[in-house]
Amino acid sequence: MPYADIVLPLALPPFTFALPEGMRTAEGCAVAVPLGANRIHTGIVWRIHDRRPDRPGVKEVLRTLGAETLVDARHRAFWEWMTDYYMCTLGEVMRAALPSLMKPSARTLEEFAGAGFRPRTERFAALAPELRSAARLHELFERLARRAPRQYEALLEVASGGAGGRTGDEAAGADALPDEPFAGEVPCRLLRAERPALEALRRKGLLRFAEHEPRPQAPETGRFLLPGPSAAQQEALGAVRRQFDGGRGTVLLHGVTGSGKTEIYIHLIAETLSRGLDALLLVPEIALTAQLIARMERVFGSRVVVYHSRLTDRRRTECYLRLARDNGGRLVIGARSALFLPLGRLGLVVVDEEHDSSYKQSDPAPRYQGRDSAVMLGRLCGARVLLGSATPSLETWLNACTGKYGSVTLAERYGGVPAPRIVVSDVRRAARRGERRGPFNLLLLDRLRATLAAGGQAMLFQNRRGFAPFVECDACGWTARCPHCNVTLTLHRAGRRLVCHYCGHAEPLPAACPGCGGAVAPRGVGTERVVEELARLLPEARVVRLDRDAVTSDRAFGAVVADFGARAYDIMVGTQMITKGFDFDGVRTVGILNADNLLNMPDFRAAERAFQLMTQVAGRAGRRSEQGEVIIQTGEPDNPVIRQVVAGDYEAMARMQLAERERFFYPPYARLAALTLRHRDAALLRDAVQELAARLRGRFGRRLLGPLAPPVDRIRDEHLAGLLLKIEAGASFARARALLAAELAAFARERTFRSVTVVTDVDPQ
């Protein structure tokens, strides 16, 4: 009788079941299996063999679920690599890899696997055929612009091929008419125009609508409407191709912001799709990528599949199954979880903004680095991997320097736009001279005024949410702290509430200090406070805030971005969210309100991160014809990182940081595995971490650091303690992980410490 090892979505190794006589299934397929008394789980057949398990009561697989291979041999190898490298179970990888509809109950998958599954249809808009002449269209625009501005804008959007026209992607600003009207169909969900305007245009016979499945708009021969690359881009493209053809599996594309890395991606993707292969474009955070997606959809039409964890389960499941049945020629744009999609003919993986720390999943397991995993997936699938960034991670940079990766530089901005001028403004000196107003130096305020007067826009970056990071008693120094976590509470203006950013605990701001009755005052500056100060100092400015509190949905986010692109606001104030990939024509001035926050993070990557962030923010200024200006406010104007940002000198930063990392054995010159132990009982936790430290020290000697107190040592009423394993380059990290895994397994069997949670994070970020 045959047996099958089945992977179940649990933190356990595969479990063996018997395959009933005549059941036809194969490795990588889904089956339903009984678990416990009366639970049924979906599992993935991992291995079929005839070794009877050495235990009584082996149960039978209940039934098969669809005939598709959901996880092909290469992806199974990928899952196995992930469990080995990131020290987790196949079940945990399965939880990350498959949409949850396909996991818990066998019924839901069956529903999809049956005949009931159909790709969904959607609504498309297209210009009426007689409008596809530029002359006719322009005539019409003239009339509509005056009489029906909303219809004018709607028509303009369709004529310019979709969302991009309004948000400043490509050439068309709100007033620019396209030279060549877009003749294809535009998915209605990409349009900003409201239904009534579209409806009116339909009644006038100017627009046509159709409801159907998305279908490839590009001709089947694979010829796509590609932008013409600039000379510099052409050269970079050639260099990338040569490196791939010369056998380099992974290539770094180091291109300054605004150099047009996306154009290079587009050409490489087109080549891949034309050969009938699949391409995967990974982006750090999908919500921040609307402009990029619109641009890709305009070129690749419905070959584009967008996938991320915020889609509904149903959408994700449909998408997964559709791809499992597909036969190549797709472009998937997705966040890191898209790595697991069943692309059977993967030819190219592009990792955009490869340095971005959101590629790392920190919780739950598998705690994988999406970029590093992409490189491994490429190797397993024989696909090429392109890592793109203006500020590469030092890990990637070193790999490029040592020749492990290929490397291509794109040093000039597209269209000859000069790099922004960067000005450092010393906050201490400004304070001494009475040139501080709220969180602004007068210099920055002046520049904002001048920008607004000239009709330009500005972006202000402050990496703290809320009104103030903490509140303090003026008299006795009392600060409001979270009762469940060892952190101060952040003041949020809305309702004047104090909120914990770790556990979500919220309480009202006390009217007076609970200790002495003195006055409680906000300390420090968050984005809300910046907006309030702007209202006082620049009352004429129209200001919008973009952070996790201000926009809580993708839709709200998209609306803010579109409105800012359409110049409904003058100044955008935001956190990290505003640093990535935005491309607005109107932005001339960018302010970084407090660079010291970034420089002084308690993290060995602080300098690298600060450089990356400031450079990214700076890249938002002056994207079009004229030079932009960036003002960095700091108390340390002579900090080398600040100077490197001003000079735009990535290499100087990299050299200096790498020297430091090498001296102190930090990545990329060492590999790290971080252990975090958690328990509600502080004394028990202390004993546990000391015991584990002693055992590991016995194995690893000085390579083990700790016990260490993490920056926040109590979260949600649990105490935390850390250990850090540092394995220098040259020593076997695989062997170290194996030893560590064995020690952790032995520790987990200790009765005394059984209730202590131990989390292992390999390559922590």
Could you say which residues in the range 21-50 bind ligand ADP, by CB under 6 A? none
Residue 13 burial (CB count, 10 A) = 13
Between 42 and 615, name the residue whose CB sits nearer to ligand ADP: 615
Between 69 and 291, name the residue whose CB sits nearer to ligand ADP: 291
Q: Which does 230 bind (CB under 5 to 8 A by kind): ligand ADP, Zn ion, none?
A: ligand ADP
> Using the rule CB under 5 A, which residue among 184, 249, 518, 635 binds Zn ion?
518
Between 487 and 641, name the residue whose CB sits nearer to Zn ion: 487
User: Does residue 364 have a cis peptide bond before it, meaning omega lies within 30 degrees of 0?
Assistant: yes
- Inter-residue contact 60 to 17 (CB < 8 Å): yes
Please report whether residue 354 would count as binding ligand ADP according to CB under 6 A: no
> Using the rule CB under 6 A, which residue among 5, 68, 157, 170 binds ligand ADP?
170
Give me Rg for the CA atoms of the chain.
28
Please report whether residue 258 would count as binding ligand ADP according to CB under 6 A: yes
Residues 583-612, one symbol each (x = binds ligand ADP by CB under 6 A, - = not), give x-----------------------------
> Using the rule CB under 6 A, which residue among 262, 272, 289, 616 binds ligand ADP?
262
d(CA 308, CA 300): 19
Q: Which does 478 bind (CB under 5 to 8 A by kind): ligand ADP, Zn ion, none?
A: Zn ion
Q: Which does 502 bind (CB under 5 to 8 A by kind): ligand ADP, Zn ion, none?
A: Zn ion
Task: Find the part of the chain contacting ligand ADP (CB under 6 A) among 100-108, 226-234, 299-307, 393-401.
Answer: 226-234
Using DSSP, state whether 29 is helix, strand or coil. Answer: coil
Residue 38 burial (CB count, 10 A) = 6
- Kindly provide the residue ranges of all beta strands, DSSP E only, lying in 104-176, ordered along the sequence: 122-127
Please report whether residue 230 would count as binding ligand ADP according to CB under 6 A: yes
Q: Which does 400 bind (CB under 5 to 8 A by kind): Zn ion, ligand ADP, none?
A: none
> Using the rule CB under 6 A, which residue among 181, 260, 284, 329 binds ligand ADP?
260
Residue 262 burial (CB count, 10 A) = 21
Residue 499 burial (CB count, 10 A) = 20
Q: Of 338, 391, 347, 764, which Cα lies nearest the Cα of 610?
A: 391
Between 257 and 634, name the residue whose CB sits nearer to ligand ADP: 257
Please report whether residue 259 would count as binding ligand ADP according to CB under 6 A: yes
Q: Are strands 718-728 and 670-679 parallel, antiparallel or unpaired?
A: antiparallel
Using DSSP, state whether 514 is helix, strand or coil. Answer: coil
Whose structure tokens read 């799709």?
A: 273
Please report whether residue 500 would count as binding Zn ion according to CB under 5 A: yes
Could you say which residues in the range 281-310 bind ligand ADP, by CB under 6 A? none
Q: Are strands 30-35 and 39-49 parallel, antiparallel or unpaired?
A: antiparallel
Q: How is residue 516 annotated by DSSP? A: T
Compute the least distance from the CB of residue 353 to ligand ADP, in Å: 9
Query: Tokens standing for 273?
Result: 């799709």
d(CA 132, CA 681): 72
> Using the rule CB under 6 A, which residue among 99, 161, 162, 255 binds ligand ADP?
255
d(CA 19, CA 225): 51
Using DSSP, state whether 110 is helix, strand or coil. Answer: helix
Could you say which residues in the range 385-424 bind ligand ADP, by CB under 6 A? 414
Between 68 and 353, name the residue whose CB sits nearer to ligand ADP: 353
What are the respective helix, strand and coil percentages of the chain, to the nearest 5? 40, 25, 40
Compute the least distance from the CB of residue 176 to ligand ADP, in Å: 13
| 565: enclosing H helix or E strand | helix 554-565
# of chain residues touching ligand ADP (CB under 6 A): 16
Q: What burial class does residue 249 get, using C-beta atoms within 10 Å of its C-beta: 0-12 exposed, 13-18 middle, 19+ buried?
A: middle
Between 473 and 621, name the residue whose CB sits nearer to Zn ion: 473
> Using the rule CB under 6 A, which residue among 233, 425, 579, 594 binds ligand ADP?
233
Please report whether residue 520 would count as binding Zn ion according to CB under 5 A: no
Interface residues with Zn ion (CB under 5 A) are 473, 475-476, 478, 482, 484-485, 500, 502-503, 505, 513, 515-516, 518
